[in-house]
Amino acid sequence: MNAAQQVISKFGGQTELSQLIGKGQSTIAHWAKTGIVPAKWRTILLQLASSKNIELIAADFEQELIVLTETYEENQLQKATHWGELMLGENSIPCYVLNDGQRIFSLSGVVSALTGGDGGQLASYINVRAIRGYLPEELIPAENGSIPALINFDTLGQGVGKTAIGVPVEKFMDICIAFSTALQDSTDASIKLTERQKEIAIKANSFLRATAKVGIIALVDEATGYQYDRPMDALQFKLKLFLQEEMRVWEKTFPDELWIQFSRLTNWNGSIHSRPKYWGKLINELVYGYLDKDVYGWLKTNAPKPVGNLSYHRWLTEQYGLKKLMEHIWQLVGMASACVTMEQLRRKMAEKYGKVGVQITLFIDP
């Protein structure tokens, strides 16, 4: 019985648990099949178990759980003295402090955070040519798939109980650095990242930048003594905000459907992912040019010039500006799909947003 099946059984089976959380039984069946309860559900199940007096702890979710035998020797493993969960984006990572002071993330939590809950073995993600060369030696998987830096530890902090496999938090950051550096170097023809690896690298880069900001805040709080006066969850709250900010850099605001319509109306025969530069002028004209004048004016005056993937949409507020931007883009896509030329689209946009056409008569010599 795998870890997910054990958790499911504590709630009386798949049918009972699916009813408790309001999800279809197929969802629970998938957990049982893969052996993994997605990180975003773990806190919910822990709270549900507590309300129903069901014995469930964070360590029960670990895919790598090992039931210790009676021959367990005292001091054989480091013991967790503190534990909790850290939210990284949409994923919750079980974390521990061991009796020797090491800070540890659970292995399955690390994989879920990097891959978005896909699961699998860490070695399969990092033991690839594009990433392996950027890893420190202790993170390079051996031939049997084992990773020297991983740690077996007692999750209960007792002489008998259950153990899990963890990743020292510093090594997690090394993994993020490896993916981030590989992404940065991927412009070199010798470094090839798959689309999946790029997704992980983007996420890793966001983790690095957000945690760096939180880290400097924590250092100032420690130096000033403010760490004793701030709210207990202040740093986690900061981390959540910074991650949202960093992920906005990479978020796909302009859908492929827009580029497909631009391609058709401009007779572009190339890939929509290597689109011509003049499409940027079309975006300024048909998207930003029809936004609220004050918003567009502020963007033109205050926002840094777009470079590479960085565009004006990064400086629109998530609560209002971005929502308006997305609404406008999809209206544009709908109009474009009904047009046969770019000139026709320009005319439809002008008519919809109340622009007045002006006809100019020119006189020339016969």
CA separation for the pair 339, 293 (Å, rounded): 26
Residue type, 257: E
- pLDDT band at 64; cut points 50, 70, 90: very low
- Lowest mean per-residue pLDDT among 6-10, 37-41, 137-141, 205-209: 37-41
- 29 Ramachandran zone, left/alpha/beta (phi>0; psi -120 to 50): alpha
| Sequence letter at residue 157 | G
User: Residue 70 has what pLDDT?
Assistant: 33
Residue 169 has pLDDT above 90, yes or no: yes
Question: Out of 119-133, 168-182, 204-218, 346-360, which region has the weakest mean confidence (pLDDT)?
Answer: 346-360
Q: For 152-169, what is the mean pLDDT?
A: 77
Give 135's pLDDT tier (boundaries 50, 70, 90). Answer: very high
pLDDT higher than threshold 80 for residue 358: no
Cα(149)–Cα(167) distance, integer angstroms? 7
Helix axes 107-115, 169-185, angle to 10 degrees: 30
The token pair at 347 is 């005319």
> Quick one: pLDDT at residue 247?
64
% residues pLDDT > 70 (the chain): 79
The pLDDT assigned to 68 comes to 33
Tell me what pLDDT residue 146 has: 86
Q: How far is the CA of 12 from the CAs of 29, 104, 142, 281, 333, in angstroms?
A: 13, 32, 40, 60, 49
333 has pLDDT over 70: yes
pLDDT for position 317: 52
pLDDT of 172 > 90? The answer is yes
Helical pair 321-337 and 342-352, crossing angle rounded to 10 deg: 130
Residue limits of CATH 1.10.260 in the chain: 3-61
**Mean per-residue pLDDT over the chain, rounded:** 80
The predicted-structure confidence for 265-310, as pLDDT tens digits, reads as follows 999 888 877 778 888 888 888 888 887 666 666 656 655 454 444 4
166-188 b/e (C-beta count within 10 Å ≥ 16 → b):
bbbbebbbbbbbbbbbbbeebee
Question: What are the residues whose beta carbons fall under 8 Å from the beta carbon of 286, sequence distance 6 or more?
Answer: 332, 345, 346, 349
pLDDT at residue number 309:
43
Q: Give the three-class secondary structure for 96.
A: strand
pLDDT at 323: 67
Res 79: pLDDT? 86
CATH 1.10.260 for the 3-61 domain, yes or no: yes
pTM over 0.75: no
Per-residue pLDDT at 4 = 83
pLDDT in tens, 215-264: 999 999 999 998 888 888 888 888 887 777 666 655 566 788 898 999 99
Number of C-beta neighbours around residue 25 at 10 A: 14
**pLDDT of amino acid 312:** 56
24-58 residue pLDDT tens: 888 888 888 877 787 778 888 888 888 888 888 77
pLDDT category of residue 90 using cuts at 50, 70 and 90:
confident
HSE (side-chain half, CA atoms, 13 Å) at 33: 6
